[in-house]
Amino acid sequence: MGNATARANTWNGWHLAALLGGNAALALGPWWVRLADSGPVAAGFWRLALAVPFIALLARASGQRLTGFTPLTWAAIAGAGVFFALDLASWHIGIGLTRLGNAALFGNAGSIILMAWGLIAMHRAPHRSEWMAFAASLAGAGILLGRSLDIDPKTALGDLLCLLAGLLYAFYILLLQRGRAALGSWSLLTWSSVAGLPVLLGIAVLRGEPVWPQVWWPLLVLAFTSQVVGQGLLVYALRHFPPLVVGLALMTQPALAVTVGWLVFGETLSWLDAVGMVLVGMGLVLARGAPPPVPAETPPEDAEQARG
């Protein structure tokens, strides 16, 4: 634990640039989803399918094995892949219904779920900062949901779908947690992505979405920036920072998403929206600083990557 703490405080300008760059790459994901001329779930399918070969190469380059897992590990990967696919399906549909800032915030709600799970696993009541995280998140979410309902019930539905995505992502993280300690993020992300592909394709077909795009560049940018560049920069950077700094850097995602929503899609925020977003952001930052529900030997860079 001492070594982990030391590593989490040895950073330089390159690490900070990678931390901010990774969050920026993930924050732009909803923009590319909206620009894709496939359906939103089909965009999730291509997001994984186009990225899998590169992720597998990164796994091999990092010395992570892609075969020889135990049956229990394969089962966990398959289950995580299903949750990952459902997470992307829910989030991508929500992106098309709500504002980009809301989608970025609610999509990261898994941090709160993981904090709650950690408290249950440790059989203890929340500390003051954890109570504050719950209270701020609930108050902010209530404000944003109320504002979305004022705009259009479909906008509020988009918020709820993005919240569901955050919940599903938390289950994905929990299923792969122990495997990360032994096998590495890239190896597990490779196979969980492969396991999620048929789920996403099936949902897209059942929804009657156009699966084969006419314009490929938004999907190529989505796959490369979200699954390869964003995750790669964070894997490089996260081990060097304490959780509070990681949580603060995470807030660049909704800030950038709000900016894109305003400049590109004409989405505006009221002062009440800003209050709600600040409260949710405070909750997510405080949740990042809470004890994580992971084994002590799990390296900090793999404990939980930013949502994107």
Residues 213-256 have pLDDT tens digits of: 999 999 999 999 988 998 888 888 888 888 778 888 888 899 99
Neighbours of 217 (CB within 10 A): 11
* pLDDT at residue 62, as a whole number: 87
Spatial distance between the Cα atoms of 101 and 32, rounded to a whole number of angstroms: 14
> Cα 217–232–10 angle (5° rounding)?
150
Domain extents in the chain = 2-302
Tell me the Ramachandran region of residue 51: left when phi exceeds 0, alpha when psi lies from -120 to 50, beta otherwise.
Answer: alpha
Distance between the two ends of the chain, CA-based, in angstroms?
28
Cβ neighbours of residue 270 closer than 8 Å, sequence gap 6 or more? 147
Percent of the chain with pLDDT over 90: 52
Q: What is the pTM of this model?
A: 0.88
For 82-94, b/e burial (b = at least 16 CB within 10 A) is bbbbbbbbbbbbb
